[in-house]
Amino acid sequence: MKIGELARRSGLSTYTIRYYERIGLLPRADRDRSGQRDYDASILTWIEFLDRLKATGMPIREMLRYAALRERGAGTEVERGALLERHRERVRAHMAELEACLLVLDTKIAGYAGKEQRKDDHDAPIPERRRKPAGPRQAGAR
């Protein structure tokens, strides 16, 4: 498959495909007789996996590390697994943080529904406070 079709099928731009190839995220493509890149369809599965890693926030340096280990093949499974396990824990922690944020948003939204529907008193409107006018400062006082 030519680079244009790979771009269409993967959702990546041709520029991104060339960039990923240049930095080592994608293996170098075979070339046809005219020198054009000719990709095997199996690369789509790899690109989909890279998209998942990217969507879950894996830094590109770790993606490159994983790609390099994958390229080395057998004997790197333990290291690849450990890299993915560490990333999974970061994803889980991020998901827990997002769940906590979602709870705050839900509580805040419920507060706009009316006092009778509020989840708790912590979301009640804050009464406006009036500040006392500042008096004259005494020299040397802090």
34-41 mean pLDDT: 91
3-23 mean pLDDT: 96
55, pLDDT greater than 70: yes
Of the pLDDT bands very low, low, confident and very high (cuts 50, 70, 90), residue 68 is: very high
pTM to 2 decimal places: 0.72
Q: Report the candidate in 134, 132, 114, 136 with the shortest Cα–Cα distance to residue 124.
A: 114
CATH annotation of 1-55: 1.10.1660.10
| Residues whose CB falls within 8 Å of the CB of residue 37, separated by 6 or more in sequence, listed in order | 2, 3, 29, 30, 31
In the three-class reduction of DSSP (H, G, I as helix; E, B as strand; rest coil), residue 119 is classed as: coil
Distance from the first to the final alpha carbon of the chain: 75
pLDDT of residue 112: 87
pLDDT of residue 115: 63
49, pLDDT greater than 60: yes
Of the pLDDT bands very low, low, confident and very high (cuts 50, 70, 90), residue 137 is: low
Tally Cβ neighbours within 10 Å of residue 36: 12
